[in-house]
Structure 1
Amino acid sequence: MKKIGFLSFGHWTPSPQSQARSASDVLLQSIELAVAAEELGADGAYFRVHHFARQLASPFPLLSAVGARTKRIEIGTAVIDMRYENPLYMAEDAGAADLIAGGRLQLGISRGSPEQVIDGFRYFGYQPAEGETDADLGRRHAEVFFDVLRGEGFAKPNPRPMFPNPPGMLRLEPHSAGLRDRIWWGSSSNATAVWAAKLGMNLQSSTLKTDESGEPFHIQQAEQIRIYREAWKEAGHAHEPRVSVSRSIFALMNDTDRAYFGGSGESQDQIGNIDPQTQAIFGRSYAAEPDRLIDQLKADEAIAEADTLLLTVPNQLGVEYNAHVLESILKHVAPGLGWR
């Protein structure tokens, strides 16, 4: 069995070819797609966070709304760029959203990726300390966030408060017990996967990874997952970790599917640079008739290693079409792979 969810970047554009032509459109359609996904039997609704872009940005109002409209489905991010975040304020937002959702939040966080503007986190009031890189800044914010989710008191109370305090040092409120076990680190390298394992965060690995061996993408990603699990075991954590990978996968069921994605069925991994110093490998997309798709996916070692698969969806094609994309995978592909 494998958990299967969708991952939406939440693109919107005023183009008449898009079903999501405004920020309002994409937010409301994201909620409706999560509701539809739950009805279809999917396991998760995940959203990407980008700043200074016509895409989804502040995640917690959306996560709270999805949590209020659904009952069972996991609700998460993949990922929140921690360079932009106030970790204490984020802990309050996350606690509130998780309580609204009844403990279903699965928060993916990371050090971030290249964005629409240069050093956008500086406009938010954050900058690396002396000797730090922006990646160090993101990991520092993540460590603070992860620590305060313990729910332990750390702030000295006012001796003359407006309202009575509980005894002892004060913690952030609202606190949602169990949320700390549902934090994921979005890792592009083997080293940061090990770092996340030592801290006790789950692992998210996307369709982009630092090219560390020159091998095919799914081979490198599978090795990253194995290295992560070994580091988790060595750290001696009491519970088992979770691991997700994301993929663009389309079952070609009709002429519309073939018109949109029929030309991408033979795609290959791509090599590029995410910054001048870092070469990355980008995983291929999958698009084929269900029987052929099943055979292709059986050969993907990283999907086999993960317990959770996030399907990236073309949100600009609208809720109805994306529900069809999810249903096609859940009904016609997942059973043939033993996932359902």
Structure 2
Amino acid sequence: MKKIGFLSFGHWSPSAQSGTRSAGDALLQSIDLAVAAEELGADGAYFRVHHFARQLASPFPLLAAAGAKTKKIELGTAVIDMRYENPLYMAEDAGAADLISGGRLQLGISRGSPEQVVDGYRYFGYAPADGKTDADMARDQTEVFLEVLKGNGFAEPSPRPMFPNPPGKLRLEPHSPGLRERIWWGAASDATAIWAAKLGMNLQSSTLKFDESGKPFHIQQAEQIRAYRTAWKQAGHAHEPRVSVSRSIFALVNDMDRAYFGTGRAEEDQFGYIEPEKRAVFGRGYTAEPEALIKMLAEDQAIAEADTLLLTVPNQLGVEYNAHVIESILTLVAPALSWR
């Protein structure tokens, strides 16, 4: 069995061809799609966070609203860029959203991806310490975030507080028990996947990974997952980890599907550079009639290794069409692969 959810970037554009012409459209339709996905039996509604872009950016109001409108579906991010975050303030926001949802948050965090602006985190008031990189800063802030999520007191109470305090040092409130075990790290390399395992975070692996062997994307990603699980076992954590992978998968079942995605062009991995001297591999998409799609997906080693699959959705095509995309995979593809 495999959990299946969707991942939305929340794109919006004032273009007449877009179903989301404003940030408000993108946010409200994201909530509606979470509700629709839950009704279809999907397991998760996940959202990407990109700053300075016409996309979703501030996840916690969205997660809280979706949590209030749904009952069972997991609500998550993939991913929040920790270079931009105050880890203590983030812990308060995350705790509140998790409590509103009844403990359904699955927060994916990471160092982030190439940005819309140069060193955007500096506009938010953050900069790497001397001798450290922005990636170091993201990992440092992550470790602070993980520590305060444990709910241990660390702040010295005032001798003259406005309100009575419980005994001892104070923790951040609201605290949501169990959230610490529902934090995921978006890893683009084997090394950061192993680091995440040591810290007891679940693993998110997207459609992009640093090229570490020249092998096909799904094989490199499967090797990353196996390295992560080995490191997890060696760390001796008490609970089992979770692993998600993201894919663009479209079943061609009607004329609209074929008009949007039935290009007939071969889909294959792409190798290139996302940063100077950092070669990456971008995973292929999967688009075909359901029977052909099933055969192709059965050969994807990383999907086989993961317990959670996130379907990237074209959110600008509207809630109804995206619900159709999700339903097609849940009903026509997943059962044949023993995912459901």
1:54 corresponds to which residue? 54
Q: Given residue 110 of structure 1, which amino acid in structure 2 is its aligned partner?
A: S
1:306-329 per-residue CA deviation (whole Å, 9 max, x = no partner) reads: 000000000000000000000000
Q: Given residue 283 of structure 2, which amino acid in structure 1 is its aligned partner?
A: G
1:305 corresponds to which residue? 305
Q: Distance in 1 between matches of 2:90 and 2:265?
A: 40
Q: Is the 8 A contact 1:152 1:171 kept in 2?
A: yes
1:219 corresponds to which residue? 219
1:147 corresponds to which residue? 147
1:135-191 per-residue CA deviation (whole Å, 9 max, x = no partner) reads: 001111111001110000000000110000000000000000000000000000000
Q: Is the 8 A contact 1:103 1:179 kept in 2?
A: yes
The 3 A distance-change label for structure 1 pair 339 and 82 is: same
Report the Cα offset of residue 128 of structure 1: 0.1
Q: Distance in 2 between matches of 1:257 and 1:112?
A: 32
Q: Distance in 2 between matches of 1:58 and 1:337?
A: 36
TM-score by length of 2: 0.99
1:40 corresponds to which residue? 40
Q: Given residue 43 of structure 1, which amino acid in structure 2 is its aligned partner?
A: D
Q: Is the 8 A contact 1:266 1:286 kept in 2?
A: no
Q: Is the 8 A contact 1:265 1:287 kept in 2?
A: no
Matches of residues 12-51 of structure 1 in structure 2 within 5 Å? 12-51=12-51
Report the Cα offset of residue 263 of structure 1: 1.4
Report the Cα offset of residue 274 of structure 1: 1.3
1:22-71 per-residue CA deviation (whole Å, 9 max, x = no partner) reads: 00000000000000000000000000000000000000000000000000
1:206 corresponds to which residue? 206
1:237-269 per-residue CA deviation (whole Å, 9 max, x = no partner) reads: 000000000000000001110111111662100
Q: Is the 8 A contact 1:264 1:286 kept in 2?
A: no
1:321 corresponds to which residue? 321
Q: Distance in 2 between matches of 1:67 and 1:32?
A: 11
Matches of residues 1-340 of structure 1 in structure 2 within 5 Å? 1-263=1-263, 266-340=266-340
Structure 2 stretches of 5 or more lacking a match?
none
Q: Distance in 2 between matches of 1:263 and 1:208?
A: 22
Q: Given residue 101 of structure 2, which amino acid in structure 1 is its aligned partner?
A: A
Report the Cα offset of residue 272 of structure 1: 1.1
- Name the stretch that deviates more: 273-282 or 222-231: 273-282
Q: Distance in 1 between matches of 2:266 and 2:225?
A: 25
Q: Distance in 2 between matches of 1:310 and 1:285?
A: 13
Q: Is the 8 A contact 1:10 1:30 kept in 2?
A: yes
Q: Distance in 2 between matches of 1:264 and 1:30?
A: 30
1:87-129 per-residue CA deviation (whole Å, 9 max, x = no partner) reads: 0000000000000000000000001111100000000000000
Q: Given residue 79 of structure 1, which amino acid in structure 2 is its aligned partner?
A: V
SS of 1:177 mapped into structure 2:
coil
Q: Given residue 9 of structure 1, which amino acid in structure 2 is its aligned partner?
A: F
TM-score by length of 1: 0.99
Structure 1 stretches of 5 or more lacking a match?
none
SS of 2:151 mapped into structure 1:
coil
Q: Distance in 1 between matches of 2:91 and 2:97?
A: 10
Q: Distance in 1 between matches of 2:313 and 2:176?
A: 30
Aligned pair count reads 340
Q: Distance in 2 between matches of 1:269 and 1:222?
A: 15
Q: Distance in 1 between matches of 2:266 and 2:97?
A: 41
Report the Cα offset of residue 132 of structure 1: 0.4
Q: Distance in 2 between matches of 1:235 and 1:306?
A: 20
Question: Following superposition, which runs of at least 4 residues in structure 1 exceed 2 angstroms of deviation?
Answer: none
Q: Is the 8 A contact 1:265 1:285 kept in 2?
A: no
Q: Given residue 270 of structure 2, which amino acid in structure 1 is its aligned partner?
A: Q
Q: Distance in 2 between matches of 1:96 and 1:264?
A: 46
Q: Is the 8 A contact 1:105 1:182 kept in 2?
A: yes
Q: Distance in 1 between matches of 2:202 and 2:264?
A: 31
